[in-house]
């Protein structure tokens, strides 16, 4: 018998590292391959950005409570978000679908209505794709393309000591939305006559079902003349993403718990689920907000930006990433984001 190593022994990040090590880049216009939010190709006057995501049923979405139009919208939005995370502007997308024949033409129309709505909203052209049948669930593969000026591109590895750590919008809402949907699904499974009780939760539900790529933040940074020193989007949870920035920038970080931007409805709902709101913000994931660092000299500019909050700063000590509580207690940040395997 040959040795067998299970995928969950090395995890998604371990697998990506393994693949990255095996890859050799030869094309002279390849600026950046695997390892950031998007790959980077030199197009002479500017950089082209390429990012791709694969969404699979029952892993990334649950058809029992996900409207198809929202799902289509989200598939585009999360890919455009990756282009934003490089400080770029998305321009084109391709969309491939594997669909089982339990889908009707009308259902596929709904999915595309969401895809095209997002294309219009984010000003990207749908230029291609592949459609095929599937013997099991729905799979959606989106590749997004964008561009960024060479002096504006922002990687994960540029953060320096004393840089301010900023996030856009608020965090934890998508996670609470997901908990609500899962709770109502369980109730419905036990008693199909009970109607789901989702009233008054529009905000958190929209955050999980129909997240918005923050192209407005990228535009605002441009307008304010700020080029972040590092940036990524928050898909796996703030904690996990801060660790990525630290690792790739070779820094440590201090995040202040009382600075985390959390919507009031999230705080209330978190208590109902017996959770700390800051835990939802740190580990929830799927918020698709932007996490970025700026130089201290940009403090006044970012401090004045609407929907951007300074939550901490980078350090060059070896203490790793810490979450600092109001009383001064410090806790090491550990990744608790999505586990793919």
Range 161-200, binding a copy of itself (CB under 8 A): none
Subset of residues 218 to 247 that bind a copy of itself, contact rule: CB under 8 A: none
Q: Which is nearer to a copy of itself, 141 or 249 (CB)?
A: 141
Subset of residues 20 to 59 that bind a copy of itself, contact rule: CB under 8 A: 22-27, 29-30, 32-34, 38-39, 41, 43-45, 48, 50-59
Whole-number minimum distance, CB 136 to a copy of itself, in Å? Answer: 4
Neighbours of 189 (CB within 10 A): 9
Q: Is 12 in the site for a copy of itself (CB under 8 A)?
A: yes
- Distance from C-alpha of 322 to C-alpha of 314, rounded to nearest angstrom: 10
DSSP state of 44: S
Q: Is 94 in the site for a copy of itself (CB under 8 A)?
A: yes
Whole-number minimum distance, CB 254 to a copy of itself, in Å? Answer: 31
Give all strands of the β-sheet with 47-56 in edge-to-edge order.
30-32, 39-42, 47-56, 139-148, 89-99, 125-133
Q: Is 136 in the site for a copy of itself (CB under 8 A)?
A: yes
- Distance from C-alpha of 106 to C-alpha of 243, rounded to nearest angstrom: 43
Whole-number minimum distance, CB 165 to a copy of itself, in Å? Answer: 26
Q: Is 104 in the site for a copy of itself (CB under 8 A)?
A: yes
- Distance from C-alpha of 212 to C-alpha of 78, rounded to nearest angstrom: 8
Whole-number minimum distance, CB 91 to a copy of itself, in Å? Answer: 5
Given the DSSP bridges, would you call strands 164-168 and 125-133 parallel, antiparallel or unpaired?
A: unpaired
Q: How many Cα atoms within 13 Å fall on the side-chain side of residue 261? A: 17
Spatial CB neighbours of 236, under 8 Å, sequence gap ≥ 6: 285, 335, 337, 338
- Residue from the set 63, 126, 262, 324 that interacts with a copy of itself by CB under 8 A: 126
- Residue from the set 73, 88, 124, 217 that interacts with a copy of itself by CB under 8 A: 124
Contact 203, 173 (CB under 8 A): yes
Q: Which is nearer to a copy of itself, 112 or 256 (CB)?
A: 112
- Residue from the set 128, 194, 272, 276 that interacts with a copy of itself by CB under 8 A: 128
Reported in sequence order, the residue ranges of 134-238 that DSSP labels E, i.e. its strands, are 139-148, 164-168, 230-233
Contact 136, 254 (CB under 8 A): no
Q: What is the CA radius of gyration of the chain?
A: 20
| Angle in degrees, CA 193, 194, 198, rounded to 5 | 145
Whole-number minimum distance, CB 301 to a copy of itself, in Å? Answer: 30
- Residue from the set 66, 87, 141, 229 that interacts with a copy of itself by CB under 8 A: 141
Q: Which is nearer to a copy of itself, 288 or 313 (CB)?
A: 288
Spatial CB neighbours of 13, under 8 Å, sequence gap ≥ 6: none
- Residue from the set 123, 186, 250, 303 that interacts with a copy of itself by CB under 8 A: 123
Q: Candidates 67-75, 118-126, 193-201, 255-263 — which segment interacts with a copy of itself by CB under 8 A?
A: 118-126
Whole-number minimum distance, CB 159 to a copy of itself, in Å? Answer: 22
Q: Which is nearer to a copy of itself, 36 or 263 (CB)?
A: 36
Subset of residues 53 to 92 that bind a copy of itself, contact rule: CB under 8 A: 53-60, 91-92
Whole-number minimum distance, CB 315 to a copy of itself, in Å? Answer: 30
Q: Which is nearer to a copy of itself, 112 or 188 (CB)?
A: 112
Q: Is 130 in the site for a copy of itself (CB under 8 A)?
A: yes
First to last CA, the chain: 24
- Distance from C-alpha of 302 to C-alpha of 221, rounded to nearest angstrom: 8
Subset of residues 145 to 164 that bind a copy of itself, contact rule: CB under 8 A: 145
């Amino acid at each position: 018998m040959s040795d067998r190593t299970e995928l969950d022994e090395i995890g998604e990040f371990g697998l990506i590292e393994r693949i990255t090590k095996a890859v050799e880049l030869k094309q002279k216009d390849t600026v950046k391959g695997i390892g950031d939010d998007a790959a980077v190709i030199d197009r002479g006057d500017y950089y082209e950005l390429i990012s791709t995501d694969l969404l699979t049923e029952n892993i990334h979405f649950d058809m029992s409570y996900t409207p198809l139009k929202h799902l289509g919208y989200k598939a585009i939005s999360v890919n455009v978000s990756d282009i934003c995370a490089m400080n770029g502007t998305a321009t084109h997308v391709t969309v491939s679908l594997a669909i089982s024949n339990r889908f009707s033409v009308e259902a596929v129309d709904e999915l595309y209505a969401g895809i095209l709505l997002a294309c219009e909203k984010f000003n990207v052209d749908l230029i291609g794709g592949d459609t095929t049948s599937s013997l099991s669930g729905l799979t959606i593969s989106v590749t997004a393309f964008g561009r960024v000026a060479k002096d504006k591109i922002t990687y994960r590895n540029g953060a320096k000591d004393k840089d301010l750590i900023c996030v856009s919008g608020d965090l934890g809402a998508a996670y609470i939305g997901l908990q609500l949907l899962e709770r109502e699904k369980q109730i419905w499974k036990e008693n199909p006559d009970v109607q789901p009780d989702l009233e008054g939760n529009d905000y958190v539900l929209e955050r999980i079902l129909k997240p918005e790529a923050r192209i407005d933040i990228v535009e605002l940074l441009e307008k304010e003349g700020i080029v972040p020193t590092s940036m990524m989007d928050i898909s796996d949870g703030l904690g996990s993403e801060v660790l990525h920035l630290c690792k790739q920038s070779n820094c440590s970080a201090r995040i202040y718990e009382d600075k985390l931007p959390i919507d009031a409805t999230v705080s209330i709902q978190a208590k109902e689920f017996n959770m700390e709101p800051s835990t939802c913000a740190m580990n929830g994931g799927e918020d698709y907000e932007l996490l970025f660092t700026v130089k201290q000299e940009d403090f006044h500019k970012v401090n004045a930006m609407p929907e951007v909050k300074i939550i901490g700063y980078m350090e060059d000590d070896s203490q790793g990433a810490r979450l600092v509580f109001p009383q001064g207690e410090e806790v090491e940040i550990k990744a608790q984001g999505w586990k793919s395997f």
